[in-house]
Amino acid sequence: MSSMANNKTTITAVPEHTVEIITNSGEGAQKCAQIFGQTCAKMGNGVWTVEIIPAEIEPPHHTVTSTSGNIVRFGTDKVTNWGDQSKLAVAFNDQVLLSRHRLDSFDDNCIILQESMWENHEDEAVRDGYAKAMEEMSSKNYRFINVPIEEETLKVVDNAQHGKNMFALGLLAEIYQRDLSIIEKQIAHIFRHKSAKVTEVNVELVKNGMAWARDNLDFQFQIDSIPAEESRVVMNGNQACALGAVAAGMEICAMYPITPATSVSHELSDIFETYGGMVHQAEDEIAAAGVALGASYGGKVALTVTSGPGMALKTEFLALAIMVEIPLVVLDVQRGGPSTGLPTKVEQSDLLSSLYGQPGDAPRVVIAPRTIEECFHSMVTARRIAETFRCVVIILTDANLATGVQQFTYPEFDSRWQGDPIDSSAVPEGLRPYDWDPETGMSRRIIPGTPGGQHTVTGLAHDENSRISYEPESNERACKMRSRKLAVFQTTLMPPPVYGDEDGDLLVVGWGSTQGAIEEAVERARAEGKSISSCQLAFLSPLEPGLKEIFSRFKKVMTVEINYSDTVGDPYITEETRRYGQLAWLLRAHTLIDIDCWTSCPGQPLRPKDIYNSIVKNFETGASK
Amino acid sequence: MSSLAISLLDLEPDNAVCLEADDYQTRPGKWCAGCGDFGALNAVKRLLAKEQLQPEKMAFVSGIGCSSRFPHYVNAYGFHGIHGRALPIATGLKLARPELDVFVVMGDGDCTSIGAGHWIHATRYNANMTVLLLDNNIYGLTKNQTSPTTPLGYASNTSPRGSVLPALDPLQTTLGVSNASFVAQTADWVPAHLYATLQAAYAHNGFSFIRILQRCPKFTPDVFADQVKNPDMTELLVHPDGVDAPGLDKLFKARREHDPKDLDEARALAQRTDMLRLGLFFCDGSFPVYDEVRAVSPVSPEEKVEKLNQEFNRYVV
């Protein structure tokens, strides 16, 4: 491809780049980036993408709140997070561009390809807005390049709003020397439900974008790729969860629409029935949990999918599932909260409510996938745990994993993941519905239809016969048995690995989706000779074994989390009033170690540079002690 | 189990044991003396015996309240769930196991107040189940609070000067829901009618909703007292496709021909307050049944793995 570039073109080789496409909502930024990201992945680059989406469908155009976009970070090596700042951006107007500038999204020397039509627009207000935006952005050293995106697009289609994104894709394809044949295949796939003409037009737009870049730009970037040895797939976390549910042999997903979890059910709705499964869209979040529980009571493998506000509504049903010991898998794709909060944005704020959000003692398993690959496998794991221990398993992903796209090794499916049929042989005389093994709390699950097993499960306190029992001793025993199962399950876990040295000055502890960003930050600090390691937890209830021992090998331990915590030194905030990050709170109680935290809830994934700054600051204050 | 049943079993080992009504009861109901729930339990037992349902092939799902203790007393699988949420559990169970007979038992607070949302949607899903609303016009288990069906002016612990709003009518509400396919009203003090209604409900393929007027001797002893004493205050809806029982014509002089396929008339009758009406207001077996329209064929684990590989090939890079 590079040979086709004009002879003034400088080709710069870089190990990685971060690219942003920024548009009004509804102008196709996601499709453009999706195809670009897929193409990079197919060419053998490491990839991570992040969606920038408003909560509204199509807010007023050409404003700072209408921004819809997507960030693609790709490189020669594996990419585990969205990185720090974008090196190149394509923007459809000055206002959406400005919104990203204000979020400090761009590298100081970012190259910005922007729509040229606004500068001399006939509407004075538009020209003014443009001038003010440019003035505000002049604080940075951005390189602006005007591109007649709309004008060029209109040469091919009548409505530029449905086409500019493909022209932009062409610009990127040329700048990064992407393989056009891969792009063509991706376009054909995305528009497979539409006419061949649609694919044709979109490909033409991409070609025009490439040609424009070839004729008008004087630079290209070269990012080498190392072809993977094993077969890999690329998808986002919600797709991985949906396919994981299928691979785990789940049979019913009961849900109610909620951002950012809903697309799991879109994936499932598309394919589930051909696997003998179904999606039930319930009348509300509560009913979704109830239908899943009812189906599981009947012996089906059931899942309910939601986000924070939905978790709050499901609370009572989760407690019931725990009380009656019916397996249930709950996927909570966390978003910003409390209340409606930040529907499309990431946060890790449902940890404690997932652990303790029920009245009474309601022990359950909580796991947090750290990568998109783990999103897939966590569904298989969750099912196995839920059935083995007749318990509730909550999977906490978040908006970062849900919409982030990354490659992972093609999973080797195992038909055993689908589980064995439930034992529905006649219940032997004397076997009770909760015949708890006094050591483990485990008991045989008896489902309706099983001869001789008739009993009524109840959310009331009950004894081994599932008879309502208010006896003090009976209630103590039942609580003990339900809790014991977690301790038994914990014996199957391994201590978490430490990233970096096994001991040192500072250990950074994270959970779930922040793994890539934390490790990248730790790597930077370690490259400077700082004695910092990290540890990323995937099991939150029960916690993985050996934490206290691992922590004790470091002078200081701190968590890094995407949630809120107070900062000592702020008005009224002292060591006594300070509220900690949720994992810090949990680990402090668990280990009795004075664990510090740095948390942030900006509604976007943490950047390695911000984590780096916080841990280095903590490291330095720690060292001075 | 009767001795006759055992001897039959000995003769015909392949045949199911013949169960009698009492074989379907596990233990005595713990309701107050004179509670209408006993009548409902007796009628249900009779139905189960008549249909000779296998105890392990049916499930009774309930919410919370006096009447929701029902499953504990039935020899079947039971799910005594949470307040207002029996219907989602029952819907999930029916989707999972369409071959099971599913019965739902709710009270008026349970169904028409805290569970009102589920009630409307479950009616629309029209999953094949028999649904009993035991309506005593009051919250009993929490001790005498006004429910949506408490009559206007009726005093309770939460409305000591009388309920300030007209009662919600469960029949009108259910009949107003699209895809409602079976709506009947009966009363615990007319056992023959109650039993006949249960039979019709069980025979109906779809969501069979029965409002059972149920006496609460403790908190609402007088709400149905006049109707219990004076059968002339009650009109029976009758039709060849409706509900009837021998002897009822002698008891109830007022009888009205009502075609249960006539939805407009059913709604009009439900709205009228001149008399108490018992009978089948509406029944239409031609509506979509959720567990049937959502039925999926099972796929073997090996087939699933094969399909997954095809699916994942779409994502290969």
Residue A618 lies inside a defined structural domain of this protein: yes
**Quick check: B16 contacting A, CB < 8 Å?**
no
Of A386, A418, A450, which residue constitutes the final position of a domain? Answer: A418
**Quick check: B77 contacting A, CB < 8 Å?**
yes
Instruction: Check B296 against A276: CB less than 8 A apart.
Output: yes
A468, A524: one domain: no
Chain A environment of B96 (Cβ under 8 Å): 251-252, 294-300, 302
Residue owning tokens 């980036």? A33
Which of B75, B307, B315 lies nearest to residue A454, judging by beta carbons? B75
Q: In this complex, how many residue pairs, one in chain A and one in chain B, have their CB atoms less than 8 Å apart?
A: 193
3 state DSSP class of B243:
coil
Which of B58, B95, B100 lies nearest to residue A280, judging by beta carbons? B95
DSSP run (H or E) holding A533: strand A532-537
Q: What CATH code is carried by the domain that includes residue A16?
A: 3.40.920.10
Which of B56, B92, B317 lies nearest to residue A453, judging by beta carbons? B56
Q: How confident is the model at residue B150 (pLDDT cuts 50, 70, 90)?
A: very high
Q: Which tens digit of pLDDT belongs to each residue from A44-98? A: 999 999 988 877 788 889 999 889 999 999 999 999 999 999 999 999 999 999 9
Strands A106-115 and A143-147: parallel
Return the structure tokens found at A20. Answer: 């942003």
Mutate to test the interface with B, among A179, A284, A297, A316 (most CBs of B within 10 A): A297
A478, A515: one domain: no
3 state DSSP class of A102:
helix
Q: What CATH code is carried by the domain that includes residue A358?
A: 3.40.50.970
Mutate to test the interface with B, among A291, A318, A418 (most CBs of B within 10 A): A291
- Helix B37-51 and helix B191-203, axial crossing angle in degrees, nearest 10: 50
Low-confidence ranges of chain A (pLDDT < 70): 1-7, 622-625
Instruction: Check B92 against A276: CB less than 8 A apart.
Output: no
Chain B, nearest residue to A41 by Cα: B317
In angstroms, the CA A240 to CA A222 distance is: 30
Which of A295, A415, A452 lies nearest to residue B92, judging by beta carbons? A295
Q: Residue B289: what residue type? A: V
Torsion of CA B146, B149, B150, B156, to 10 degrees: -10
Of A178, A193, A222, which residue constitutes the final position of a domain? Answer: A222
In angstroms, the CA A590 to CA B308 distance is: 41
In angstroms, the CA A557 to CA A570 distance is: 22
In angstroms, the CA B260 to CA B271 distance is: 15
Residue A525 lies inside a defined structural domain of this protein: yes
Residue A228 lies inside a defined structural domain of this protein: no
Which residues 118-157 of B have a C-beta within 8 angstroms of A?
118, 120-121
Q: Domain limits at A57?
A: 2-222
A342, A202: one domain: no
Instruction: Check B82 against A292: CB less than 8 A apart.
Output: no
CB of A456 closer than 8 Å to CB of A412: no
In angstroms, the CA B315 to CA A27 distance is: 25
Which residues 57-76 of B have a C-beta within 8 angstroms of A?
57-61, 64, 71-72, 74-76
Instruction: Check B100 against A252: CB less than 8 A apart.
Output: no
Residue owning tokens 């002049």? A138
With pLDDT > 70 as the criterion, what percentage of chain B qualifies? Answer: 95
Which of B58, B78, B317 lies nearest to residue A456, judging by beta carbons? B78
- Name the average pLDDT for chain B: 95
A368, A246: one domain: yes
CA distance A99 to chain B (A): 33
Closest C-alpha among A346, A345, A350 to residue A330: A350
Q: How confident is the model at residue B16 (pLDDT cuts 50, 70, 90)?
A: low
Which of A243, A287, A450 lies nearest to residue B88, judging by beta carbons? A287
CB of A333 closer than 8 Å to CB of A398: yes
ipTM score for this prediction: 0.95
Which of A252, A317, A415 lies nearest to residue B301, judging by beta carbons? A415
Residue ranges of domains in chain B, CATH in brackets: 16-313 (3.40.50.970)
Q: Which tens digit of pLDDT belongs to each residue from A265-306? A: 999 999 999 999 999 999 999 999 999 999 999 999 999 999
Measured distance between the N- and C-terminal CA atoms of chain B, rounded to whole angstroms: 66
Q: Which tens digit of pLDDT belongs to each residue from B77-102? A: 999 999 999 999 999 999 999 999 99
Where does residue B313 rank: exposed (0-12), middle (13-18), buried (19+ CB within 10 A)?
Answer: exposed
Q: Residue A200: what residue type? A: E
Q: What CATH code is carried by the domain that includes residue A613?
A: 3.40.50.920
A24, A165: one domain: yes
Query: What's the mean pLDDT in B152-172?
Result: 98
Chain B environment of A252 (Cβ under 8 Å): 92, 95-96
Is the pLDDT at B8 greater than 50, yes or no? no
Instruction: Check B100 against A300: CB less than 8 A apart.
Output: no
3 state DSSP class of A222:
strand
A74, A209: one domain: yes
Closest C-alpha among A292, A280, A289, A296 to residue A310: A289
Closest C-alpha among A10, A187, A84 to residue A609: A84
- Helix A285-297 and helix B86-96, axial crossing angle in degrees, nearest 10: 50
pLDDT at A420: 84
A370, A318: one domain: yes
CA distance B167 to chain A (A): 25
Chain B environment of A322 (Cβ under 8 Å): none
A247, A198: one domain: no
Closest C-alpha among B129, B85, B141, B79 to residue B103: B129
Residue B143: what are its φ and ψ, rounded to 5°? 75, 75
Chain A, nearest residue to B296 by Cα: A276
Residue A338 lies inside a defined structural domain of this protein: yes
Residue A227 lies inside a defined structural domain of this protein: no
In angstroms, the CA B201 to CA B280 distance is: 9
A164, A73: one domain: yes
The edge-to-edge listing of strands for the beta sheet with A278-281 is A278-281, A252-255, A302-306, A328-334, A392-398, A365-367, A539-541
**3-state SS track over A2-57:** HHHCCCCCEEEECCEEEEEEEEECCCCHHHHHHHHHHHHHHCCCEEEEEEECCCCC
Residue A188 lies inside a defined structural domain of this protein: yes
Residue A497 lies inside a defined structural domain of this protein: no
Q: Which tens digit of pLDDT belongs to each residue from B165-179? A: 999 999 999 999 999
Residue A107's DSSP bridge partners are none
pLDDT at A318: 98
The total domain count for chain A is 4
A214, A246: one domain: no
In angstroms, the CA A399 to CA A376 distance is: 15
Instruction: Check A287 against B90: CB less than 8 A apart.
Output: no
**3-state SS track over A548-608:** HHHHCCEEEEEEEECCCCCCECECCCCCCCCCCCHHHHHHHHHHCCCCEEEECCCCCCCCH
Return the structure tokens found at A491. Answer: 């014996």
pLDDT at A622: 62
Chain A environment of B307 (Cβ under 8 Å): 274-275
A212, A245: one domain: no
A212, A359: one domain: no
**Quick check: B78 contacting A, CB < 8 Å?**
yes
Q: Whole-model pTM? A: 0.95
DSSP run (H or E) holding A68: strand A67-75
Chain A environment of B85 (Cβ under 8 Å): 286-287, 290, 316-317
DSSP B190: -
Residue A12 lies inside a defined structural domain of this protein: yes
In angstroms, the CA A174 to CA A211 distance is: 8
Which of A231, A413, A450 lies nearest to residue B316, judging by beta carbons? A231
Task: Give the burial string for A381-409 (b: 16+ CB within 10 Å, else e).
Answer: bbbbbbbbbbbbbbbbbbbbbbbbbbbbe
Of A364, A386, A418, which residue constitutes the final position of a domain? Answer: A418
